Amino acid sequence: MVDKDNSSVGCSCCSDCGDTTLNTQTVTLDSCSCGPGCCDVPKSVQMGKKRIVIDFLFLDVSVCTRCQGADTSLDEAMSEVSKVLEATGVEVFVNKINVDSEELAKQYKFISSPTIRLNGQDIQLDVKESLCESCGDLCGDEVDCRVWVYQGNEYTIPPKAMIIEALLKEVYGGSNGEQEELEYSMPDNLKKFYAAMKDK
């Protein structure tokens, strides 16, 4: 039981779990090592909520079919996993960022469109691209957009299952770990797109 000072009063959990480091029945939250759920501690006191920030970076969603498809896949993936994330106390923030200038590309270290990042980490480690006709129509030049590789197959739109898998790995600690931070150099493909858009 927890009193008004968030101290566990009359708690027998430490003896129940075999924690012999404590020789008293009154246990403060700081010294009880039984773990989450111990001493009827409110969940808000037990641990901070896990937070996932999703950045969806794209060149254009009005014309580019790949960006439109990635946007739809992300929305559908979020719809399917939202109840699980909510039930496990995970807060999710989604930022949809139209990277429509070289300045924004540099700010976000944008390397390929579209991009989906979870807590700053790209869900697709290897960048593979192919000719994107809709972006070519948009800027009047040949432009490549991202190709997603999932379970050995290539897709021009990220599969919903790929996004869900990346989200669940991030929540349950199975993510790919820290990606090496490289000095940013804007890819020629993006330079060509921005230059063509300025000339329009």
Q: Do 64 and 110 fall into the same domain?
A: yes
Residues 90 and 136 reside in one and the same domain:
yes
Alpha carbon 167 to its chain's center? 6
What is the pLDDT, as a whole number, of residue 65? 96
CA distances for 56 relative to 8, 71, 99, 123, 199, angstroms: 44, 8, 10, 11, 26
Q: What is the mean pLDDT of the chain?
A: 80
The pTM score is 0.73
Look up residue 148 and give its two tokens: 């997603």
Regarding whether 38 and 54 lie in a shared domain, the answer is no
Q: pLDDT at position 199, please?
A: 85
The tens digit of pLDDT for each residue in 53-73 reads 999 999 999 999 999 999 999
Q: Domain containing 119: what range?
A: 50-175+183-199
Check which CATH number belongs to the domain holding 132 and give it. 3.40.30.10
In the structure, what pLDDT confidence band is assigned to residue 22 with cuts at 50, 70 and 90?
Answer: very low
Q: Tell the residue number behind the tokens 């699980």, with chain if given.
A: 84
Average pLDDT over residues 105-126: 95
User: Residue 51 pLDDT more than 80?
Assistant: yes
Residues 16 and 69 in one domain: no
Decide: residue 139, CB within 10 A, 0-12 exposed, 13-18 middle, 19+ buried: buried
Same domain, residue pair 96 and 157: yes
Is 106 in the same domain as 163? yes
Band (31; pLDDT cuts 50, 70, 90): very low
**Would you give the DSSP letter of residue 2?**
B
Encoded tokens for 51? 């937070």
104 in the same domain as 37: no
Per residue in 139-172, pLDDT (tens digit) is: 999 999 999 999 999 999 999 999 999 999 998 8
Look at residues 53, 94, 90 and name the one whose alpha carbon lies nearest to residue 71. 94
Q: Give alpha helix (H) positions in 31-64.
A: 43-46
- Residue 2 belongs to some domain of the structure: no
Q: How far apart, in Å, are the Cα atoms of 49 and each of 80, 90, 146, 150, 156? A: 20, 6, 33, 30, 34
Number of alpha helices (DSSP H) and beta strands (DSSP E) in the chain: 7, 9
Considering the chain, what percentage of its residues have pLDDT values greater than 70? 72
The number of folded domains in the chain is 2
Residue 174's pLDDT band, with cuts at 50, 70 and 90, is low
Which pLDDT score is estimated for 23? 34
**Per-residue pLDDT tens over the stretch 175-194:** 555 666 678 999 999 999 99
User: What is the Cα–Cα distance from 33 to 53, expressed in whole angstroms?
Assistant: 30
State the Cα–Cα distance between residues 181 and 60, nearest whole angstrom.
Answer: 26
Pair 37, 123 in one domain: no
DSSP 183: P
